[in-house]
């Protein structure tokens, strides 16, 4: 087994681990992200980022245009649909809050619908692009 030296070890390459690596690497701190899966899992996970999370992403220097490009179009992701099965007609729907233009009075980043695997891809790309590029292992 090879010995590895690092200043900070982050266990888990999900959104929290990758954002932590991004923040540390931007400050010149050596980071190693250890992830048990060799590739990103595509199974359903979280799928929305609220305004505060997006404000943190922007402050962390993440590519906000890329995050929004990966998000579901507002017209397609503005509601939570209630269904008994995927092939049955919808029972009803509830509009996501904090997506309207009025929210821009308090934040530049209204809620978006983005699947966690796509968000993780953007995060990983940003982390790998840092001058002190963290190593992400699978």
Contact in structure between 30 and 8 (CB atoms under 8 Å): yes
20 vs 138: which has the higher pLDDT: 20
For 95-122, write each residue's pLDDT tens digit: 887 777 788 899 999 999 999 999 999 9
State the DSSP string of 58-70.
Answer: HHTT--HHHHHHH
Q: Give the pLDDT mean for 30-57.
A: 88
Residue with the two structure tokens 């087994």: 1
Predicted confidence band of residue 134 (pLDDT cuts 50, 70, 90): low
Give the dihedral of Cα atoms 61, 66, 70, 74; nearest 10 deg: 90
Q: Going from the N-terminus, what domains does the chain have, and what CATH number goes with each?
A: 8-137 (3.50.50.60)
CA-CA distances (angstroms) from residue 48 to 54, 88, 119? 10, 24, 10
pLDDT at 132: 63
Distance between CA 126 and CA 123 in Å, rounded? 5
pLDDT at 137: 57
Distance between CA 138 and CA 124 in Å, rounded? 12
For 61-91, write each residue's pLDDT tens digit: 999 999 999 999 888 888 888 999 989 999 9
CA-CA distances (angstroms) from residue 22 to 19, 94, 129? 5, 34, 9
Predicted confidence band of residue 128 (pLDDT cuts 50, 70, 90): confident
């Amino acid at each position: 087994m090879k010995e590895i030296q690092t200043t900070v070890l982050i266990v888990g390459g999900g959104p929290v681990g990758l954002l932590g690596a991004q923040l540390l690497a931007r400050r010149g701190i050596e980071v190693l992200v250890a992830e048990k899966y060799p590739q990103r899992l595509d199974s359903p996970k979280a799928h929305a980022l609220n305004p505060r999370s997006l404000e943190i992403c922007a402050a962390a220097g993440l590519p906000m245009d890329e995050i929004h490009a990966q998000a579901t179009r507002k017209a397609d992701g503005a509601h939570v649909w209630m269904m008994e099965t995927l092939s049955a007609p919808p029972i009803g729907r509830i509009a996501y809050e904090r997506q309207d233009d009025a929210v821009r009075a308090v934040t530049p980043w209204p809620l978006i619908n983005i699947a966690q695997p796509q968000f993780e891809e953007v995060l990983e790309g940003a982390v790998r692009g840092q001058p002190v590029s963290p190593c992400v292992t699978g």
